[in-house]
Structure 1
Amino acid sequence: MQISKGVEWTTHICTVLALLREGQGLSVDALAEFFELPAAYLAKQMQLLRRAGIVESLRGKGGGYRLARGVDAITLLDIVTAIEGPQSAFRCTEIRQNGPCGLKRADCRRPCEVASAFAIAEQAYRDALAAKTLASIMQEAAANSTPEHLMEMAGWVQRQNA
């Protein structure tokens, strides 16, 4: 399973948006500058987050994007689903019905053992993502950062709205 760059990028973006004061937002251009990312691609990812209700857009001075919910109400599963969609990572193609020894469709009433194994693994993956909130990510990042770096980040965010 490979998680797209968009998931990584938007998760980092959400941690920066969490630093905003009430009523403030950050533009896609500012967010792209902060992480040295392509703004056009990031804009598409931000629209996906907006449609999922993770961020909201603000107009006017200080406008741009901000979190639509608190950091304790946004999980990694929310972000992954917003960017990559809700579909399962494993898609059974019923290969067991192919070839000279393939099963007849009528004999395939239950999911095959391969599909069942992947479904169990994917559920564990989704459960782990659902248990991890943006708040917990930010707490871990703060614990592993220096006070100077945290202040530098907060100062940069606030200067964007000055």
Structure 2
Amino acid sequence: MKLSEGVEAAIHCAALLAGLAPGKTLPAAALADYHGVSASYLVKHLNRLVAAGMLASVPGPHGGYRLGRPATRISLLDIVLAVEGPEPAFRCGEIRQRGPGALEPEAYRKPCGINVAMLRAEQAWRGALRAARLADVIAGYEAEADPRALAFGCAFLERHQRPGSPLSNPE
């Protein structure tokens, strides 16, 4: 299975936005610059996170993005599903029913064993991502990251955050 680069970008952006001061926002251009990605590419994924309620988008000259709910209430699965959609990664096309050896449809009453195994594996990784909270990922990073990277991130936020509006911060 391969998730899109948008998932990585979305998780990193949400983690960075978690460091904003209350009421502040960060423009998409700053998020794109910080992560070295195209702003137009990133906005597409940020808007999916807004639609899912994980981010809030504040319009206007002091606008930008911020978390829409606390990092403790955002799972990595929430972000993956917002970016990739809810469809399973494996989609069984029932190819066992094609080709020269295919039998009549009635011969395939039991589910495809490959599909069953793949869906079981998908349930396992979704469960692991459901249990992984954005706040936990951030705490792990803060505990293990090089202090220079932490200092750079804090300084970047300080330089690029905008006033926003304190009335719509996550609890």
1:121 aligns with 2:129: no
Aligned mates of 1:7, 1:49 — CA distance in 2: 10
Count of equivalent residues: 162
Q: Tell me whether 99-108 or 41-50 shows the greater mean CA deviation.
A: 99-108
Which structure 1 segments of 5+ residues have no match? none
1:96-153 CA distance string (max 9 Å, x none): 1112321322232331111111111111111111111101110110111244432331
Whichever residue aligns with residue 105 of structure 1, its letter is: P
3-state secondary structure, aligned to 2:56:
strand
Aligned mates of 1:85, 1:117 — CA distance in 2: 21
Which structure 2 segments of 5+ residues have no match? 163-171
1:142 aligns with 2:145: no
Aligned mates of 1:157, 1:40 — CA distance in 2: 20
Which residue is equivalent to 1:73? 73
Q: Which has the higher contact order (CA 8 A, sep 6+)?
A: 2
Instruction: Compute the displacement of 1:159 (Å).
Output: 1.7
Instruction: Compute the displacement of 1:62 (Å).
Output: 3.4
Which residue is equivalent to 2:33? 33
TM-score normalised by the chain length of structure 1 = 0.93
Instruction: Compute the displacement of 1:3 (Å).
Output: 1.1
TM-score normalised by the chain length of structure 2 = 0.88
Which residue is equivalent to 1:152? 152
Instruction: Compute the displacement of 1:9 (Å).
Output: 0.7
1:49-94 CA distance string (max 9 Å, x none): 1111111101234310111111111111111101110000111111
1:94 aligns with 2:94: yes
The percent identity for this pair of structures is 42
Which residue is equivalent to 2:60? 60
